[in-house]
C-alpha cells in the first residue's frame, strides 16, 4: 500500500539488515528548494524520470550558501551530511532511494570512506554505468519482488558498496592524473544549458582557460568520455526534460536548434532507440 508524506509518495519498498530500498514519487507544486539530512546511512538516489530543469545541490555546512553543483541521474549523500537541493521547475519525478548501513561498509573495507570537498562534489553526479545498472536492478525487484528478495537486496547493496568505494578511489586517481577541477566542469555544464547553439571546443577551452588539447585530455579523464559525447548526451537529457514537461515535439526541436521536427526525431531516436512520442508514452504522458 502506498504511503504519502508531504510531496513524496512511497510506491513500494524492500528492506534487508544492511539496506532499505524505496520506489518513490515526488510531486512539486513549485520549484523545490529543500534541505535534507542523512543521519545514519548512505543515501543513493536514482532518478527514473528526468529531474526538474537545472537540478542542483549544495552542502551548505561545507560550502556556504552560494555554491551549487549539477545534480545527476544518480547522486549520493554520505551519513552525517546535510544537502540542499534546488531546481527551476515543478511537476512529478520518480526515483529509487537506496540507504546503506555505513557500519556494513566499514566492516567490508576495514576503513571509513573519506568525504572531503572533492568527493562530495563528485558524489552529486555519479556517472558510473555499473552503479546505475545495480540501482535499476533494485528498482525492478522492488516493483516486482520475487523469491528471496531480501537476500537479493543485501547482495546488490554489497555490490553497490564495492562500486562506491572504487568510485571514491577513482576520484582521487583522477586528481593525480590531471582531471579537470570541479569549477571548470561546472562552467562547462552551465554553458551546455544555454540554448539553442551548442558550444565549440575552442569556446569551451577559452571558457575554462585551457588549450583545446588540455581540455580534451582533462575532460576525458574526469568524465570518462569525450567532450563531444558529453555534449550530445547532455542535449538528449535536456530534450527528455522538455518532452516530460509536455512541451510539444515541434517546440522542443526548435528550442534545441534543430532545423525541423523530423531532424530532431531522427536524432532523438538514434540516441535513445525510441521516438519522442514513444518516450512520452513510456513515462506516462501519452503522445
For 109-147, what is each residue's pLDDT tens digit? 766 777 888 888 889 988 888 898 999 999 999 999 988
Rounded to the nearest 5°, which phi and psi values hold at 28? -115, 115
Q: What is the mean pLDDT of the chain?
A: 85
Mean pLDDT of 204-224: 86
Question: Do residues 77 and 125 lie in contact, with contact meaning Cβ atoms separated by under 8 Å?
Answer: no
For residue range 35-50, what is the model confidence (pLDDT) as tens digits? 888 778 899 999 988 8
Question: Do residues 195 and 235 lie in contact, with contact meaning Cβ atoms separated by under 8 Å?
Answer: no
Mean pLDDT of 8-33: 90
Q: Phi/psi class of residue 202: alpha, beta or left (left: φ > 0; alpha: ψ in -120 to 50)?
A: alpha
Report d(CA 167, CA 282) in Å as an integer.
31
Q: At what angle do helices 149-177 and 129-143 cross, to 10 degrees?
A: 160
Q: Across the chain, where does the E strand assignment appear?
A: 3-5, 8-16, 19-28, 33-38, 42-47, 56-58, 69-70, 74-77, 81-86, 91-100
* Percent residues over pLDDT 70 in the chain: 94
pLDDT for 177 equals 66
Q: Which three cell numbers stand for residue 274?
A: 525510441
The length of the chain in residues reads 287
CA 282, 87, 71, 59 dihedral sign is negative
Rounded to the nearest 5°, which phi and psi values hold at 212? -60, -40
For residue range 180-211, what is the model confidence (pLDDT) as tens digits? 877 788 889 888 888 777 888 889 988 888 88
Q: What are the structural domains of the chain?
A: 3-177 (2.60.120.10), 182-282 (1.10.10.60)
Q: Which one is predicted more confidently, 179 or 268?
A: 268
Amino acid at each position: 500500500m502506498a504511503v504519502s508524506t508531504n510531496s513524496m509518495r512511497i510506491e513500494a519498498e524492500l528492506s534487508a539488515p544492511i539496506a532499505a530500498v524505496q520506489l518513490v514519487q515526488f510531486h512539486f507544486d513549485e520549484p523545490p528548494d529543500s534541505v535534507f539530512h542523512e543521519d545514519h546511512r548512505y543515501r543513493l538516489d536514482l532518478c527514473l524520470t528526468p529531474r526538474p530543469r537545472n537540478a542542483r545541490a549544495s552542502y551548505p555546512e561545507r560550502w556556504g550558501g552560494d555554491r551549487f553543483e549539477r545534480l545527476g541521474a544518480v547522486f549520493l549523500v554520505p551519513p552525517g551530511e546535510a544537502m540542499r537541493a534546488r531546481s527551476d521547475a515543478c511537476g512529478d519525478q520518480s526515483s529509487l532511494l537506496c540507504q546503506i548501513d555505513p557500519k556494513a561498509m566499514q566492516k567490508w573495507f576495514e576503513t571509513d570512506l573519506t568525504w572531503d570537498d572533492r568527493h562530495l562534489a563528485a558524489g552529486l553526479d555519479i556517472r558510473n554505468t555499473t552503479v546505475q545498472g545495480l540501482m535499476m536492478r533494485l528498482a525492478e525487484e522492488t516493483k516486482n519482488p520475487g523469491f528471496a528478495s531480501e537476500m537479493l537486496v543485501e547482495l546488490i547493496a554489497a555490490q553497490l558498496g564495492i562500486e562506491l568505494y572504487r568510485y571514491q578511489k577513482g576520484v582521487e586517481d583522477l586528481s593525480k592524473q590531471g582531471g579537470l577541477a570541479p569549477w571548470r566542469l561546472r562552467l562547462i555544464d552551465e554553458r551546455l544549458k544555454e540554448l539553442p547553439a551548442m558550444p565549440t571546443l575552442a569556446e569551451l577551452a577559452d571558457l575554462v582557460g585551457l588549450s583545446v588539447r588540455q581540455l580534451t585530455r582533462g575532460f576525458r579523464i574526469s568524465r570518462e568520455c569525450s567532450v563531444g559525447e558529453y555534449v550530445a548526451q547532455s542535449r538528449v537529457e535536456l530534450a527528455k526534460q522538455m518532452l516530460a514537461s509536455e512541451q510539444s515535439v515541434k517546440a522542443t526541436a526548435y528550442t534545441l536548434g534543430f532545423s525541423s521536427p523530423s531532424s530532431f526525431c531522427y536524432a532523438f531516436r538514434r540516441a535513445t532507440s525510441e521516438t519522442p512520442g514513444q518516450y512520452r508514452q513510456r513515462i506516462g504522458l501519452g503522445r
